[in-house]
Structure 1
Amino acid sequence: QIIKTSCYDCHSYHTKYPWYTNVAPLSWWIGDHIEEGREHFNLSEWGAYSEKKALHKLEEFYEEVEEGEMPLTSYTLIHGEASLSDEQVKKLVTWVKSLPGVK
Structure 2
Amino acid sequence: MGYIYLAIAIIAEVVATSALKASDEFTKPTPSIVVIVGYGVAFYFLSLVLKTIPVGVAYAIWSGLGIVLISLVGLVTFGQKLDFAAVIGILLIIGGVVVMNVFSNTVGH
Query: Structures share a fold, TM > 0.5?
Result: no
Task: Give the TM interval when normalised to the shorter protein.
Answer: 0.3 to 0.5
Calculate the TM-score normalised by the size of structure 1.
Answer: 0.40
Report which of the two structures shows the higher radius of gyration computed on alpha carbons: 2
TM-score normalised by structure 2 residue count: 0.38
Q: Which has the higher helix share?
A: 2
